[in-house]
Amino acid sequence: MIADIAPSARVVLLDIEGTTTPISFVHDTLFPFARARLDAFLAERWEAPEVQAAVSTLAAERPRESFPDQSSEMTPEVVSGFVRWLMDRDRKSPGLKDLQGLIWEDGYNAGLLHGAVWEDVPRAIGRWRASGLRVAIYSSGSELAQRLLFRSTPYGDLTTDIDAFFDTRMGGKLMAESYVRIARALSTSPAGVCFVSDVTGELKAARAAGCVTVLSLRSGNASQPEVDEFPQVTTFDDL
């Protein structure tokens, strides 16, 4: 399958999971790593400002129906329980994503984790940049987690060729306004953004904002509804 980037596009905006990176890497490597090290990390790093910032975000997110005692102190034990509750439900929680990113940072720095991307990804990024396009990332993972992944791939540090990283602080990926904000941050119009994702709901939101959209069909990706509404690629070599 071959899809063309529209002439109006100035930026290629990439999702990560299922688009640049196998879903299995996220679910079978990153998520279990964070879960296994959560309690030890909280015990060792509890007083660190960046950890307390994540804890403050988590405190504001605690749903009353699941954690009715809103006055209870956010101790390491309380945070661990809430974080595991969020993980079990695969919630796109900013506090969870921040904390996972910090745990993964320790893993990357210790050489226990290395980023994973498909082999066509660095080749395509180089080609797009050579043609004058900018490249950006938009993922539910924290900006820190994104940078760590792309900094440590088998193909070297790809962050030097990526112009910007966006997480859900720009808004949810199913919200059209999020893509308007991203386009504004990139100093272009939504029509200047070509968004590539494996999730048709995200593509519909980006399309509603005015972006160009392309569906990523990679091995291991979950089946999606309404796939015929979007141009499709199985490799970035065809984009």
22-26: average pLDDT: 96
* 131/15 Cα distance (integer angstroms): 21
Q: To the nearest whole percent, how much of the chain has pLDDT over 70?
A: 95
86-109: average pLDDT: 95
* 86 pLDDT higher than 80: yes
- pLDDT top residue among 67 and 181: 181
**Domains of the chain: residue spans and CATH:** 11-21+115-238 (3.40.50.1000), 26-109 (1.10.720)
* 82/76 Cα distance (integer angstroms): 10
* 128 pLDDT higher than 60: yes
Q: What is the pTM of this model?
A: 0.94
For position 70, what pLDDT does the model report?
52
For position 61, what pLDDT does the model report?
87
- pLDDT top residue among 72 and 119: 119
Digit-coded pLDDT (tens) for 166-217: 999 999 999 999 999 999 999 999 999 999 999 999 999 999 999 999 999 9
Contact between residue 111 and residue 158 where contact means Cβ atoms under 8 Å apart: no
Angle between helices 94-109 and 31-45 (to 10 degrees): 90
Residue 28: pLDDT band (50, 70, 90) is very high
* 180/184 Cα distance (integer angstroms): 6
* 96/207 Cα distance (integer angstroms): 28
CB burial string 104-127: b at 16+ within 10 A, e below: bbbbbeeeebebbbbebbbebbee
Digit-coded pLDDT (tens) for 203-223: 999 999 999 999 999 999 999
Residue 199's SS3 state is coil
For position 73, what pLDDT does the model report?
81
**Which whole-number Å values give the CA distances from 185 to 75, 136, 157, 170, 173, in the listed order?**
36, 11, 24, 10, 16
**Which whole-number Å values give the CA distances from 100 to 19, 123, 166, 183, in the listed order?**
20, 29, 16, 27
4-29: average pLDDT: 94
* 69/124 Cα distance (integer angstroms): 50
Contact between residue 100 and residue 84 where contact means Cβ atoms under 8 Å apart: no
152-168: average pLDDT: 97
For position 37, what pLDDT does the model report?
98
Contact between residue 219 and residue 176 where contact means Cβ atoms under 8 Å apart: no
Burial label, 164 (beta-carbon count in 10 A; 0-12, 13-18, 19+): middle
For position 64, what pLDDT does the model report?
56
Rounded-to-5 percentages of helix, strand, coil across the chain = 50, 10, 40
For position 38, what pLDDT does the model report?
98
Residue 5: pLDDT band (50, 70, 90) is confident
Contact between residue 166 and residue 136 where contact means Cβ atoms under 8 Å apart: yes
